[in-house]
């Protein structure tokens, strides 16, 4: 049976080298490997050094592993917020980050925008210890411009800036002098099986967690930030982690480094451009996000209205699996991931089909 091309925004299409890496992992006994062994430490080093190189992560940032980005929302609030956080919310995932803070008993403020829009100005949040931003709203395909994210350092110098880049990395190039915490999960842009979150934090974050802890507040147990960082310094994790997931991340990041991050970024932009062009060209569908500056390059959302079902069936017949619209948009939208695992040829095929679609 011919395999479908998976355009769901995560879990998504696997990076094309993953199956080979997993075969080698079994040959080399990686799944039976002790997470306290030298070999595991070498894998940890390859994964983190590779990510540093790929994403330009500076020395004073630590890279730690969790089970998911959902877990990072919780750990982020527990460790970086004693009392108050501010959340920019324009979709389901930004909203869940906001709600996480409430569930943990923090005074959380939400600054909201329409689902198909980003924000225009950085407000000042005098009491917020953390400002939470969702770089790429997976539910709506809205992406915040980098200049907007970078503006918070000046308007809110006292706050830590935490950026959810779950469905955009490795595409975006962040300015690490303007943010303090960045995170993603591997089943999206990295094209890996789900079950691993990656949390990148600077020394300010670590100091904040230690400060909160020293005042007697609870910051969690095995996955509190000081514990995570102290094990990361030994190239280990506090618990037995998803060893195979960390191994596969190391391997795929090295593949991406060989391909070159510039090539990946250029290709992402080319594929996004032809995808939006196809949505503009077909009179039955249109891009959900109207303003081009807010259009995500990595999750392209189409308003398909009453044609949603017929377009889905048409694409499925051609071997293409689109992502369903999120939540209340289920019946009227489709989402198309545009990750490094999606080849130019695959996206061009999708584009041809979208252009030629007639209900």
Q: Applying CB under 8 A, does 105 fall inside the site for a copy of itself?
A: yes
**Residues 38, 235: Cα–Cα separation, whole Å:** 9
Nearer of residues 239 and 280 to a copy of itself, judged by Cβ: 239
Q: Applying CB under 8 A, does 31 fall inside the site for a copy of itself?
A: yes
Distances (CA, A) of 164 to 85, 228, 326: 15, 19, 18
10, 118, 189, 322: residue in contact with a copy of itself (rule CB under 8 A): 10
Residue 220, SS3 per DSSP: coil
Q: Which two tokens stand for residue 183?
A: 């995170």
Phi, then psi, of 309 in degrees rounded to 5: -70, -45
The interface region with a copy of itself, picked from 153-161, 202-210, 237-245, 281-289 by CB under 8 A, is 237-245
Site for a copy of itself in 71-100 (CB under 8 A): 71, 73-74, 99-100
218, 263, 316, 331: residue in contact with a copy of itself (rule CB under 8 A): 218
Q: Applying CB under 8 A, does 319 fall inside the site for a copy of itself?
A: no
Spatial CA neighbour of 353 closest among 307, 310, 318, 313: 318
The interface region with a copy of itself, picked from 4-12, 199-207, 266-274, 302-310 by CB under 8 A, is 4-12
49, 92, 104, 257: residue in contact with a copy of itself (rule CB under 8 A): 104
Residue 110, SS3 per DSSP: strand
Q: How many residues bind a copy of itself (CB under 8 A)?
A: 53
Phi, then psi, of 285 in degrees rounded to 5: -130, 160
Site for a copy of itself in 45-74 (CB under 8 A): 66-71, 73-74
In this structure, the chain runs to a length of: 359
Burial of 84 (0-12, 13-18, 19+ CB in 10 A): middle
**Smallest distance, a copy of itself to C-beta of residue 257, A:** 22
The answer to whether 117 and 145 have CB atoms below 8 angstroms apart is: no
User: What stretch of H or E contains 353?
Assistant: helix 344-356
Packing angle, helices 243-259 and 261-281, rounded to 10: 90
18, 182, 205, 320: residue in contact with a copy of itself (rule CB under 8 A): 18
Q: Applying CB under 8 A, does 136 fall inside the site for a copy of itself?
A: no
Q: Applying CB under 8 A, does 195 fall inside the site for a copy of itself?
A: yes
48, 181, 242, 268: residue in contact with a copy of itself (rule CB under 8 A): 242
**Residues 249, 107: Cα–Cα separation, whole Å:** 36
- DSSP assignment, residue 295? B
Q: Applying CB under 8 A, does 243 fall inside the site for a copy of itself?
A: yes
Q: Which positions lie near a copy of itself, rule CB under 8 A?
A: 3-4, 6, 8, 10-14, 18-19, 22, 26, 29, 31-35, 66-71, 73-74, 99-100, 103-105, 185, 187, 192-196, 218, 220-224, 238-245
């Amino acid at each position: 049976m011919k395999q479908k091309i998976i355009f769901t925004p995560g879990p998504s299409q696997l990076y094309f080298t993953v199956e080979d890496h997993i075969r080698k992992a079994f040959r080399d006994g990686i799944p039976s490997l002790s997470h306290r062994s030298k070999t595991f430490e070498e894998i940890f080093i390859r994964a983190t050094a590779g990510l540093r190189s790929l994403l330009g992560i500076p020395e004073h940032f630590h890279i730690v592993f969790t089970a998911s980005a959902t877990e990072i929302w919780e750990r982020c609030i527990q460790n970086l917020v004693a009392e108050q956080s501010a959340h920019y919310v324009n979709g389901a995932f930004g909203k869940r980050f906001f709600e996480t803070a409430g569930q943990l008993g923090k005074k959380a403020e939400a600054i909201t925008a329409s689902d198909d829009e980003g924000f225009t100005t950085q407000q000042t949040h005098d009491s917020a210890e953390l400002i939470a931003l969702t770089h790429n709203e997976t539910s709506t395909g809205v992406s915040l411009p980098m200049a907007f994210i970078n503006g918070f350092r000046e308007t809110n110098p006292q706050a830590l800036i935490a950026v959810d880049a779950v469905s955009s990395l490795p595409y975006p190039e962040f300015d690490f002098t303007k943010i303090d915490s960045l995170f993603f999960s591997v089943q999206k842009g990295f094209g890996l099986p789900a079950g691993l979150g990656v949390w990148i934090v600077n020394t300010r974050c670590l100091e904040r967690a230690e400060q909160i802890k020293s005042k007697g507040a609870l910051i969690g147990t095995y996955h509190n930030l000081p514990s995570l960082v102290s094990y990361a310094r030994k190239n280990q994790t506090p618990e037995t982690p998803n060893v195979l997931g960390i191994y596969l991340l190391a391997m795929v990041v090295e593949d991406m480094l060989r391909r070159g991050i510039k090539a990946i970024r250029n290709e992402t932009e080319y594929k996004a451009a032809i995808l939006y062009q196809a949505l503009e060209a077909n009179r039955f569908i249109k891009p959900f996000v109207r303003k081009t500056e807010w259009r995500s390059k990595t999750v392209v959302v189409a308003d398909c209205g009453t044609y949603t079902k017929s377009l889905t069936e048409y694409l499925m017949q051609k071997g293409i699996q689109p992502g369903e619209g999120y939540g209340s948009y289920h019946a009227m939208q489709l989402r198309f991931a545009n990750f490094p695992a999606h080849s130019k040829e695959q996206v061009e095929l999708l584009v041809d089909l979208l252009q030629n679609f007639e209900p």
